[in-house]
Structure 1
Amino acid sequence: MRVISIAHSDYSEFPDLIAGMHRLRYRVFRDRLNWDVSVSGDMEIDAYDALKPTYIIAVGDSSSVIGCARLLPTTGPTMLANTFPALLGSNSPPRSDSMFESSRFCVDTSAADSVAATGLRDATFSLLAGILEWGLSKDQEAVVTVTDVRFERILRRAGWPLERFAPPMQIDDTKALAGHLPISESALMIVREMGQIQGPVLAARFTHQAAA
């Protein structure tokens, strides 16, 4: 398994991985979780994908997408500020050059077989470590996210607990909430230790040949 970051300038190099990411998001958020999400065919794609996000993608040995996350700056439109501001409670939407938003985090549990001692998938730990490594490389101090109580528990078990903005709120079938997490070397060290990860996970440079 490899974890890569794909910035907007690199989209054209990885059309198959990006399409696989959107198909995975469809299977997880539309089929499994029954969220009310925007779809196109067998892909989950929404307006935030048009904002040139960076994607963190976990790639399996067969070059299949087994996990992903979407990263956007908080200085522009975000899911928290523009779609789910009610989850902020009395707080103002975060706007900072040193803070980003992570959304659409998911793992293909049917493909990510390896499980760490905590019961979480290795792919989950690798994606979390990848987000932390990316944030540190960009001099970021925190990440905000809109998620649910299920994923909040996963973050806690991974050693990277979420600090809520406000109590959870029922949205359709989901008990949703929003919060922020520190981007720090200590947080990265804990996630690596909990996931038994040795060293960096983000590939310095990824090619299709490297995936073969």
Structure 2
Amino acid sequence: MEVTTLSYENLHNHGELFANMFRARHRSFILQNKWDLPQANGMEFDQYDTPASRWVAVHEGGQVLAGIRLTPTTHRCGIYSYMIRDAQMGLLASIPPTLLYEDAPVADHIWESSRVFVSDLVPANLRLRVQLQLRHEMVIAARNVGATSVLGLIPENSRRLGRRVGLDCEPAGPIMDIDGVDCVCVAINMSAKLH
């Protein structure tokens, strides 16, 4: 099992891995979760998949087992910045604008984590190992871009998993029902992880 952080600067070194990440997201978010998201050629993508982002992929034999997208909170592309901020500003109808207790941050040291998934093809006896690898590489990727904090919108029950894999996920907003799932914005403090 390998873990790779992808960026537009290193895609040429990883063959089909980038496309396979979007194919795995399509399987997880569109086929399994039944989310109405942009798609083409069996790949899921959105307006936040830009050259400013990074993608962490856990993979084996060309198959992507899990992934996370990291986006700087300072990035802008047209009217969009990052998913949580755009939701708060009313640009995303599928996410309530009341998802944060405070204004969405815009700072070089804060990145957003989104599109987190573990493939349904990962057997139960390997899921924790895959999740540990994914979170570990997320911390490394965040450190490499200078992030001391990561903001994410996650299922509320995933906070326990965060603690289990060594991440402190502090609520940054209320628990909300999104498509029948209790979700919450969390702030993950990376400063303790930077050593």
What is the TM-score normalised by the length of structure 2?
Answer: 0.83
Structure 2 counterpart of 1:83: 87
Structure 2 counterpart of 1:27: 27
**Cα RMSD for the two superposed structures:** 2.2
Tell me which of 104, 123, 136 is aligned to 1:93: 104
SS in 2 for 1:121: helix
Q: Deviations over 1:47-96 (max 9, x none)?
A: 11135411111121x13211111111011211100135524444011111
SS in 1 for 2:57: strand
SS in 2 for 1:71: strand
Structure 1 counterpart of 2:8: 8
- Equivalent pair of 1:87/1:177 in contact (CA under 8 Å): no
Structure 1 counterpart of 2:148: 141
Post-superposition offset of 1:172: 2.6
Q: Deviations over 1:166-199 (max 9, x none)?
A: 2111123232221110113x4479xxxxxxxxxx
- Counterpart residue type for residue 81 of structure 1: R
SS in 2 for 1:145: strand
% identical aligned pairs = 24
- Counterpart residue type for residue 182 of structure 2: K
CA distance, structure 2, for counterparts of residue 111 and residue 43 of structure 1: 19
- Counterpart residue type for residue 44 of structure 1: E
- Equivalent pair of 1:71/1:100 in contact (CA under 8 Å): yes
* CA gap 1:7/1:144 in 2 versus in 1, 3 angstroms: same
> Superposed, which structure 2 residues align to 1:1-212 within 5 Å?
1-60=1-60, 62-76=61-75, 77-84=81-88, 86-111=97-122, 114-115=125-126, 120-184=127-191, 186-187=192-193
CA distance, structure 2, for counterparts of residue 188 and residue 110 of structure 1: 32
- Equivalent pair of 1:87/1:168 in contact (CA under 8 Å): no
CA distance, structure 1, for counterparts of residue 165 and residue 136 of structure 2: 10
SS in 2 for 1:18: helix
The structure that is helix-richer by fraction is: 1
SS in 1 for 2:69: strand
CA distance, structure 2, for counterparts of residue 84 and residue 112 of structure 1: 36
Q: Deviations over 1:10-42 (max 9, x none)?
A: 234435111111111111112222333222242
- Counterpart residue type for residue 47 of structure 2: A
Structure 2 counterpart of 1:203: none
Q: Deviations over 1:129-175 (max 9, x none)?
A: 00111222333211011122232332133231311112111123232
CA distance, structure 2, for counterparts of residue 112 and residue 4 of structure 1: 20
CA distance, structure 2, for counterparts of residue 14 and residue 46 of structure 1: 21
Count of residue pairs the alignment pairs up: 183
SS in 2 for 1:19: helix
